[in-house]
Chains A and B, each alone.
Chain A
Amino acid sequence: MSLISRRPRPPAAAAEPQERATFKSPVLPWLFLLPTFIILAVFLYYPAVRTLRLSLYRANIILGNETFEGLGQFAELLSSPVYHQVILQTLIYCALVVMLGLLLAMGLAWLASRPIAGAKFYRLMLIYPYALSPAIAGTIWLFLFNPEIGVINNVLSSLIGVRPRWLDNPLLAFGLVVLAAIWKGLGYNVVFYLAAIQNIPGEVSEAAAIDGATGWQAYWKVIFPLLSPMTFFLVFTNLIYALFDSFGLVDILTRGGPVYGQTGITTFLIYQLYEDGFRNFKTGVAAAEAVLMLIMVGVITVMQFRYGNRRVHYGA
């Protein structure tokens, strides 16, 4: 399969070519922008402002009552041991999914782009998990790791006589969600790494080989740095993915459980927001959580735009 055949450039790092002014009309451009702006205004900007406002009120959208609280709910959240734990386990989850997922994808993409027989087949088999959704991944893994009838425990019990209760043990359940997320994300990451690898000039690895670099050295000293711009781009997309798409996976696989310490160990920030907003009907608190997460997303996006342009350069 010929993946991206020309120079890849993570979108954020794109250059700024000259704008055109081909057509002259004071009305037409606004007419073309109107549908986009109506939707952005009504379904993104207005709800964002509403969320900011709601975060200052103790509110319940079902009952429709509101009491002004100021920053009280933020103070409450930021001093709550439960919320501390949720933040901490979300960060650990994100770090594991992003780091392990990218290392794995980079290594596999590199191997699958070596000049070996069947490389095309390997690439295809590494890419297709892109079609998996978090919910499908959760559904399959729920059955796979079912303690009584799941294939994993059937194999384990016949080999070494154990039947771990995967979803009741906090450490195992957490590990399972991490692995399922990495599995689900692999196809996407491999697609982008394959594209980046194809654009590394052939002479580079040949030069390294002539200098006597072994495969391993060539990989870490030459290829790994050359892929850093793509890695940088993927770190951010994967972070956002881990923050939000974990919801479908968690909701089907573990429902935020099992309890460890203050709360369920797989209750991540987005799951907590859903629980508070739509199970406990603490609308104001959920809005405050949304505001805190919006700040996180803002920081991540700003960092991507600011440092994304200052990447290592290879090729022009």
Chain B
Amino acid sequence: MARKAVSAAPSYATAPRPTRAGPARHLWIHVVLIIAVLVIASPLLFALIKATQASDVVIGPSLLPGTHFLENLASVWNGAHLGRYMTNSLIVTVCVTVGKTILSLLAALAFVYFRFPLKSLAFALVLFTLMLPTELLIVALFDLMSGTLKWADSYAAIIVPFLASATGTFLFRQHFLNIPASLADAARIDGCGPMTFLSRVLIPMSWNTIGAMAVIQFVSAWDQYLWPLVIMQSDDKQVVQVGLRRLIDAGGQTDWGAVMAGAMITLIPPLLIFTLLQEQFSKGFALGQDK
């Protein structure tokens, strides 16, 4: 391992390890971290507490947890369509995450295990889309969706444009390139076709990368805001992020306890995915970025 950056530092490989200082030396680290953790957590703690208070307490200064969380939740879940927004968001996010993963796997399979004419041009065309964020194309995309395709107000409008992924193709390609070539040759000699090879060999060897991809794609699809705001005219199929704004605006006087309950519920799916796939997320990145 070459370490240019530290080559000037004398190496004391045989020197004893410095003695671990007692807790006292670490005291300031604890102080800084505790303050940071509290400051970072405080908006969420505040929102969580307010979500449990009755509507007359919510607007007061009290910061004591109440017992009205379920009432607050019920009021936005049914009254302000939070239930429908959540369902819509889940449908869209799951479709985008699964679709993106499958399409990226197939594209990476083609790029790594086949030699075909115009391959580098094809790869360049995929990579180039990193420079075309959907947010910047909303004007033309709106025109296309509402005019030519007549997809406005359908799930397809917020799912299909996000199914292809340059990042995903790139990550899976990197991962496949790390898998020894001999394995693919052995599989082919055994009579494995590309699809069997993908499902029996590549996918089982890629769960960490798939998990890491899934976390990233799930969170980014769940967070979609601008495009659904533009293309979804009716409330029926609106996603929950835009729904939050509707909850705030609903009926003039904002019911903040209910809105906070809604915000907390909106936080749960990405938190859940992140917690479930944490292991794969960490490992998948290491592999995907390893040489």
**Chain A contact residues, CB within 8 Å of chain B:** 1-11, 14-15, 17-26, 28-30, 32-33, 35-37, 39-40, 42-48, 50-51, 54, 61, 108, 111-112, 114-118, 122, 125-126, 128-144, 146, 148-149, 151, 154, 158, 183, 186, 195, 201, 203-204, 206-211, 222, 225-226, 240, 244-245, 247-248, 251-252, 270, 273-274, 277-278, 283, 286-287, 290, 293-294, 297-298, 301, 312-316
Inter-chain CA distance A183–B144, complex, in Å, is 36
Establish whether residues B136 and A40, one from each chain, have CB atoms under 8 Å apart when the complex forms: no
Report the minimal beta-carbon distance from A65 to chain B, rounded to whole angstroms. 13
Establish whether residues B106 and A108, one from each chain, have CB atoms under 8 Å apart when the complex forms: no
Establish whether residues A33 and B286, one from each chain, have CB atoms under 8 Å apart when the complex forms: no
Q: Chain A at the B interface: mostly helix, strand, loop or mixed? A: helix
Report the minimal beta-carbon distance from B40 to chain A, rounded to whole angstroms. 6
Report the minimal beta-carbon distance from A238 to chain B, rounded to whole angstroms. 14
Which residue on chain A has the smallest CB distance to residue B122?
A33
Establish whether residues B282 and A36, one from each chain, have CB atoms under 8 Å apart when the complex forms: no
User: Given A207-B10, A248-B226 in contact, is the A61-B143 Cβ separation under 8 Å?
Assistant: yes
**Chain B contact residues, CB within 8 Å of chain A:** 1-6, 9-13, 15, 17-18, 20, 23, 26, 29-30, 32-33, 36-37, 40-41, 43-44, 46-47, 50, 58-61, 63, 103-104, 106-107, 109-116, 119, 122, 125-126, 129-144, 147, 160-161, 163-164, 167, 169-171, 174, 177-178, 181, 184-185, 187-188, 193-194, 197, 219, 222-223, 225-226, 229-230, 241-242, 244-245, 247-248, 256, 259-260, 263, 266-267, 270-271, 274, 278, 282-283, 285-291
Q: Chain B at the A interface: mostly helix, strand, loop or mixed? A: helix
> Apart from A39-B163, A133-B225, what 20 extra A-B contacts exist at CB < 8 Å?
A8-B289, A25-B114, A28-B110, A33-B106, A36-B106, A36-B169, A44-B129, A48-B132, A50-B144, A111-B33, A131-B219, A131-B271, A140-B46, A140-B47, A140-B263, A143-B47, A247-B226, A297-B133, A312-B4, A315-B2
Inter-chain CA distance A125–B171, complex, in Å, is 28
Inter-chain CA distance A176–B242, complex, in Å, is 21
Report the minimal beta-carbon distance from A151 to chain B, rounded to whole angstroms. 6
